[in-house]
A = this chain, B = another copy of it.
Amino acid sequence: MKLTILGCYAATPRTLTNPTSQVLELNNELFLIDCGEGTQVELRRNKVKFSKIKHVFISHLHGDHFFGLIGLISTFMLLGRETELHIYGPKGIKEIITLQLKMSKSWTSYPLYFHELTGREPEVILETKKVTVETIPLDHRVYTNGFLFREKPGDRKLLMEEVEKYPIDVAYYRGIKKGKDAVLDDGTVIPNELLTADPEPPLSYAFCSDTAYKPEIASQLKNVSVLYHEATFLEEHAYLAAPTKHSTAKEAAAIARSASVSKLILGHFSTRYDSILPFKEEAKEIFPEVELAEDGKNFSFY
């Protein structure tokens, strides 16, 4: 699992900071999460292959999370894309995009599907061969969802030294990896647990931005591998976080601790701060496994 941060700053694009966008690579599938202005250029800068992006998730309709989407869709068209593209986002996203395509007399050369979200409870919105994606309803000034990406469990691992003790034909290996017992020619049953070990635990990634502190999400996030949680402010500016429905670094860390995640990544920093290092210090006091997002930064998780 690999995460590329294209932008992780709040509110407005600037010369040195980009609004929210990130690319999650999970089981060789690419998912684009949020798409602030300038995302297509950051995708190029980070050498992300456009054609590999088939699913785009938009958390909410504030500009720093979606103003780059129409440009990306148009560029895909100008490049002659043929692969289908799926957009998941709040109701309204379809009207915004199609109005602009209509006005510019431009229609996409590729199938473009919108999956508009209105639910207030977590729901699975995508299931691919190896990954499921569910919404994480958040609490912000407009309708907002986070997204939880879960690897599906892999096959059980063959314990070859055990398997080879028995006359089992290789043709049966696939079934054993799927959990079946082995039945020998003489009818003897070799229980699966003797022949296999548990697969690697599936990885999972939760994206939670933008949101006020919402402790209830911790149950849905229980034991996820990596949680990206917004931390627009430091605790000293909690009085700004509350009315704007954002979180502080401390609050993000409290969610991580409560959900027992393996790793917390903080992002969506207000551009008022000259240094983002205090975000890490503040969160660390509550949850030690914390990292800071940074535009252009790559994270790998195994």
Contact = CB atoms under 8 A, between A and B. Distances in A.
Interface of A: 11-15, 37-38, 40-41, 44-45, 61-63, 67-68, 70-71, 74-75, 78-79, 90, 92, 95-96, 99-100, 103-106, 141-142
A300 to B, nearest CB: 24
A248 to B, nearest CB: 20
Contact of A63 (B45, B95, B100, B141): B100
A141 B13 contact: no
A68 B100 CA distance: 13
Given A12-B78, A13-B41, A14-B44, A96 B106 contact: no
Nearest to A17: B41
Given A45-B15, A67-B70, A105 B37 contact: no
Nearest to A79: B12
B105 A96 contact: no
A92 B37 CA distance: 21
A226 B142 CA distance: 47
A251 to B, nearest CB: 23
Contact of A75 (B12, B99, B103): B12
Nearest to A90: B103
B68 A37 contact: yes
B63 A104 contact: yes
Given A12-B75, A37-B71, A38-B37, A142 B63 contact: no
A62 B104 contact: yes
Contacts of A104: 61-63, 142
B92 A96 contact: no
A11 B78 contact: yes
Contacts of A75: 11-12
Closest 6 A/B residue pairs (Cβ): A92-B103, A12-B75, A63-B74, A37-B71, A61-B103, A67-B71
A1 B103 CA distance: 33
Contact of A41 (B14, B71, B90): B14
Contacts of A100: 61, 63, 96
Contact of A95 (B38, B68, B74, B99): B99
